[in-house]
Amino acid sequence: MKMAADEKNEADNWRPWTFSNSKNSHEARISILAMNYQMMGNLWGALGEKEKQRYSFGEAIKLGESINNGKVIFLGYASLAAVSPPDSAIMFTSKGLQFAAAAGFRRTGNTLINLAKAYAGKGMWDSAFIFAYNSIAINLADNYLRSLVSSYVGVSIYSAGKTIKIQACFMRIKL
């Protein structure tokens, strides 16, 4: 974290384009620092330190905003949403998806699964099904197979929740 936070490490020996849509060495350094905060948030979560986890995700968002990097901002909001209660998760996810769309970042299928989970947590099974179903097309387009499995499982689970029994049977047969 100290190396990424130090401005002296912005020398043009980096390849900024490899770091999250960065256009120059400064943005690359800030993107890396934001990614470090993301990973620290994951570590804090694994250690049961939920407040520190949320703080780390918030710092990643601030850093993404400081360089106007929609992908970094999206990932911060998506991470924050994943550890939030349903209403907050829906708000954070919606905000993050706007940044992803503006940045042209399409790999959002897993985030739609998390959004489906938030709607299911509110008992809104139809909405949960729709977001899980929409995640299938995104994950297929990105060939993101790990998340595609979650998409099919989500459709199966959320369609069985209350009202959409026919689709649940269809999706279970398809699996």
Q: How high does pLDDT run on average in the chain?
A: 86
How many domains is the chain built from?
A: 2
Range of the structural domain that residue 131 is part of: 106-175
User: Does residue 8 sit in the same domain as residue 71?
Assistant: yes
157 and 111 both lie in a single domain: yes
Residue 16, pLDDT > 70, answer no
Of the candidates 8, 1, 10, 40, which has an alpha carbon nearest to the alpha carbon of residue 28? Answer: 10
Confidence check: pLDDT of 15 > 70: no
Q: Residues 115, 89: contact at Cβ < 8 Å?
A: yes
What is the torsion angle, in degrees rounded to the nearest 10, for the CA atoms of residue 10, residue 14, residue 17 and residue 21? -40
pLDDT tens-place string over residues 78-87: 999 999 999 9
* Residue count (the chain): 175
- For residues 9 and 80, membership in a common domain is answered with yes
Domain-ending residue, one of 84, 105, 126: 105
Model confidence over 86-144: pLDDT tens digits?
999 999 999 999 999 999 999 999 999 999 999 999 999 889 999 999 999 999 999 99
pTM score over 0.95: no
Domain boundary among 53, 87, 105: 105
Query: Are 117 and 130 within one domain?
Result: yes
